[in-house]
Amino acid sequence: MTLNQVPDHVPAEMVGDFSLFTSPGMLPTPDGDPQAATACVHAGPPIFYSPFNTRDGRGTWVITRATDQRRVLQDADTFSSHRSIFASALGENWPMIPLELDPPAHGVFRSLLNPLLSPKRVTALEPAVRERAIALIDSIAASGTSCDVMQDFAFPFAVSIFLRLLGLPDHRLHPFVGWANDLLHGDDVKRPAAARTILAFIDELAAMRREEPVDDFMTFIVQAQVESRRLTDEEVRGIGVLVFVAGLDTVAAAIGFDLAFLARHPKEQELLRSEPNRIVLAAEELLRAYPTVQIIRVARKDIDFEGAPIRKGDYVSCATMIANRDPAEFECPDTIDLMREDNRHAAFGYGPHRCLGSHLARREIVIGLEEWLARLPAFRIKEGTAPVAYGGHVFGIENLIVDWS
C-alpha cells in the first residue's frame, strides 16, 4: 500500500500541507505548544485534504470551522464513527461501545451508560475524587519542593479514579499506567501487546463480576440488558475497552497542560489560588485552549461539503483543538482568558458521541486544580527542564517538572 497518496477525486488545489502528525510543533517538542500550532489552519480554507493525518499514515479531509465540525459530528447518518480503532491493532473488527456504533444501535447503549456518568452520578463520586487528589498532593508536598506532575500526580490521579469506578484496589495502578502508555503511544510491537493485555484483563474482570457481583461499573455491564437480552462478550469488551482508552490518558494530559500553563503564568496562577471560585470557569477556558483529541469520521456516502467532493469511505477529521481556535466562534481565540464567558468549546466533541465521560473529566480537572493550588505554593517549570509536548491522535505532555523552592 502506498501511503500519502492523494485519491483521484481530491482536486489538487484542495490538498493542504498541514498535518496533526507531521507539521511543525506536532512531534515531541521541548516547550512546545501543539494546540496553538494548529491555529495556522484558520488562515486557510474551511476544508482541505491532508495526505498524512492518521497514525497509520492515511489522508483525511480536515474541517477547520467550529460550525462545520458541528454539522459533521451531528450528522451520524452521513459521517460514521465505526472504525474499530482498538480492534484493528489486533487485526480484528469490532466496535468500541458506544463510540464506534452508529445510530440507532448507538442510542441503545448510550442510554444504558449515560446514567452511570451523568452530572448527578458524578456529583456523588466527587468526595472520592477529592480524597484521592488530596492524598496524592499531600504526599508530593511532604516529599520535597519539586515533582514531575505527570508521573507523580496526573496519571496516578486519573488511573486511580478509573480503578475506583471499576471497583479495583489502588495497587493495580502501576501496570495500568504502563498498558495505557504502550497502547496509546507505543510502537507496532508494544501497541498490539498492550491491546491483548488489556483485553485479557477486561475479560477476566467481566468473568469475576459475573461470578461474584459487587456494586461497580463492570457488574452493572455484565448484568445489564439491552433489548431484553444480556450483552454479548464482544459488547462487554467493547464497553470495557472504551472506558479504558478514553478515560486515562486524556484526563491526565488535560491536567498536565493546565498545570503547565499555570506554571508559566504566575499572575493567572495566583488569581486562581487566591480566588478558587474562579477555577470552574477557568477550567472551561483551559479545556478550550488545550483539548487533546482529534475526532475522525468515515463518510458513508458521497457528499459535497463546502465545495469539497467527499466520497464514500473518505476520512473526515474534526480536530477539537482546531475548532477551539476558530475566530468565527471565539473572540481572540489565541488569547487564553481564564474569565472567558459563553465558552461553548469543542473539547468533548459535538453530536451524539459527545464524550460520555465529560462530566467526570470536568470534575477531575476542577478538583485536581483546586487541591493543587490549595496545597502547594507558587510553582514554576523547574529551571533547566523543558516539558515535552506533542500532537497526533491524542495530544499530550511529558516530563512536566515543576518546582516551588
Partner 1 sequence: MHIVVHKAKCQGHARCWAQAPNIFKLDDEGYVLLGDINVAQGDELLASRAVRSCPESALEIDRTSAARFEPAAMQPRAGEA
Q: Which residues bind partner 1 (CB under 8 A)?
A: 70, 74, 111, 114-115, 117-120, 280, 341-346, 348, 350-352, 354, 358-359
| Shortest reach from residue 21's CB to partner 1, in Å | 26
Query: Residue ranges of the alpha helices (H) in 105-215?
Result: 105-113, 119-142, 149, 155-165, 173-185, 190-211
The torsion angles phi and psi of 318, rounded to 5 degrees, stand at -120, 90
DSSP for 20-87, please give it. Answer: TTTSTTTS-EET--HHHHGGGGGGS-SEEEESS-STT---EEEE-SHHHHHHHHH-TTTEE----HHH
The amino acid at 10: V
| Shortest reach from residue 221's CB to partner 1, in Å | 16
| Shortest reach from residue 182's CB to partner 1, in Å | 32
Whose Cβ is closer to partner 1: residue 84's or residue 118's?
118
Which class for 6: exposed (0-12), middle (13-18), buried (19 or more C-beta within 10 A)?
middle
Whose Cβ is closer to partner 1: residue 122's or residue 402's?
122
| Shortest reach from residue 106's CB to partner 1, in Å | 12
Whose Cβ is closer to partner 1: residue 22's or residue 74's?
74
Whose Cβ is closer to partner 1: residue 120's or residue 267's?
120
| Shortest reach from residue 285's CB to partner 1, in Å | 12
Whose Cβ is closer to partner 1: residue 192's or residue 352's?
352
| Shortest reach from residue 196's CB to partner 1, in Å | 33
Whose Cβ is closer to partner 1: residue 215's or residue 341's?
341
Name residues whose C-beta falls within 8 Å of residue 317's C-beta, 6 or more positions apart in sequence.
20, 50, 53, 60, 61, 62, 63, 294, 295, 296
Contact in structure between 391 and 26 (CB atoms under 8 Å): yes
In which element (H, E) is residue 288 found?
A: helix 279-289
